[in-house]
Amino acid sequence: MSQAENIHDVVIVGGGPAGLAAGIYTGRGGLDAVLLDMMGGGGQVNTIDRVENYPGVVDPESGIELADIMRKQSESFGVAITFDEVKKIETTDELLTVNCTSENYSAKTLLAASGASHRPLGVPGEGRLTGRGVSYCATCDGAFFRGQHVAVVGGGSSAVMEAVYLSRIVERVTLIHRRDSLRAEKIQQDRLFAADNIEVLWDCAVEEVLGNNEVSGLKIKNLKTGDPSQLDVTGMFVFIGLIPNSTFLKGVVEMDDFGFIKTDTRMRTINPRIFAAGDIRQDSARQIGTAVGDGITAAVNIQEMLDTVTPDRQYVKS
Ligand code: NAP
């Protein structure tokens, strides 16, 4: 039977902690669940060096290890994890059609758990030199800069955490932040200020990434004084927030101005057959633990919704 003829109970889009947690619960609950992921699962967790704030994980383990355990646990309950990219969702009252690059899937419900991607700075040179000194993942690319001087852009937990990670590998890290205080968690800030090879450029913005084939420096502007300067670095790591991976649901569910999906506390969107969980959701705390909680909440409510579908398959609103 082709995928198009097989009506799944739920299609889960995204194999990060939210999607995998939902996979564990829907699979264990006996639902026919298929999980679609462009990269095979793990999501942003794969880029975390040490997971130390996920309850129950006492000895920090890498994000890759944690995601791998969740993936195996989900598969052990019969969830099929499939490489595919969702392009569009078509909806009727009774059914959803999930159009992907390789296949189309029919499903009674859908869980959007496709997370968010790193936001680019949008300055000249950034796109051209991405992969040639510009990076959005310290765990992936840090080792290429051993013994060198790199810049990290941003003032949130991601930027500060990644600056500390890089300081253990490279010779020197310059954190560039547009204001004079950080929004990162205090524990992350304490680690940053304790590192003797990290300096902070306060109130500064990167105006251009310099270099022909590889990054050779950054054009900087002090936003308070207007003074220009140049920073000679071979790498720039950008961590200035996230863009939700929600394009495939544009016009189908309600989103905020940034594209984060609006849900109620049961993870329901305005479409009764579509749920959202994790970083893609408006007001998510964007932690592994909260993504897992969202995924479980969505799974429980998907199960409940399918149980309340009447024999003629009309959704009964509670
Ligand atoms: P974030 O908290 O939104 O911080 C983004 C940072 O980038 C802010 O400092 C912001 O500056 C700066 N920024 C935004 N746009 C910029 C631009 N165009 N140019 C220069 N700087 C710009 O993002 P995040 O650090 O990626 O964190 C995302 C979420 O994940 C947060 O909820 C965070 O708590 C969570 N997180 C948690 C952990 C953990 O271990 N607990 C680790 C990483 C992330 P302003 O401060 O001036 O706005």
Residues spanned by the domain of 167 = 134-238
Are 226 and 265 part of one and the same domain? no
Alpha-helix runs per DSSP H in the chain: 17-28, 63-76, 138-141, 157-167, 186-194, 288-307
Q: How far apart are the first and last CA of the chain?
A: 35
The structure's pTM equals: 0.84
Final residue in a domain of this structure, among 238, 263, 294: 238
Estimate the share of the chain in helix, then strand, then coil, as percent rounded to the nearest 5: 25, 30, 45
- pLDDT for position 228: 98
Assess contact for 155 and 200: CB atoms under 8 A: no
Amino acid at 146: R
Take atom 23 of ligand 1 and give the residue whose Cα is closest. Answer: 241
Please determine, for residue 315, whether its predicted confidence score (pLDDT) is greater than 50: no
Dig out the tokens for 254 from the structure. 């309600």
Are 40 and 72 part of one and the same domain? yes
Are 217 and 269 part of one and the same domain? no
Are 294 and 251 part of one and the same domain? yes
Q: Is the CB of 156 under 6 A from ligand 1?
A: yes
Q: How far is the CA of 160 from the centre of ligand 1 (A)?
A: 9
CATH of the domain at 15: 3.50.50.60
Final residue in a domain of this structure, among 219, 238, 257: 238
3-class SS of residue 151: strand
Are 234 and 190 part of one and the same domain? yes
Are 258 and 222 part of one and the same domain? no
Are 43 and 106 part of one and the same domain? yes
pLDDT digits (tens, 9 = 90+) for 60-88: 888 899 999 999 999 999 998 999 999 99
pLDDT digits (tens, 9 = 90+) for 41-56: 888 898 888 888 899 9
pLDDT digits (tens, 9 = 90+) for 245-264: 999 999 999 999 999 999 99
Q: Is the CB of 128 under 6 A from ligand 1?
A: no
Residue 1: inside a domain = no
Is 204 catalytic? The answer is no
Kindly state the average pLDDT of the residues 184-194.
97
3-class SS of residue 280: helix
Choose which residue among 45, 50, 158, 284 to substitute to test ligand 1 binding: the one with the highest number of ligand atoms within 8 A of its C-beta: 158
Choose which residue among 54, 119, 183 to substitute to test ligand 1 binding: the one with the highest number of ligand atoms within 8 A of its C-beta: 183
Q: Is the CB of 118 under 6 A from ligand 1?
A: no
Report the alpha-carbon distance of residue 7 to residue 1 in Å, rounded: 11
The angle subtended at Cα 134 by Cα 284 and Cα 15, nearest 5°, is 35
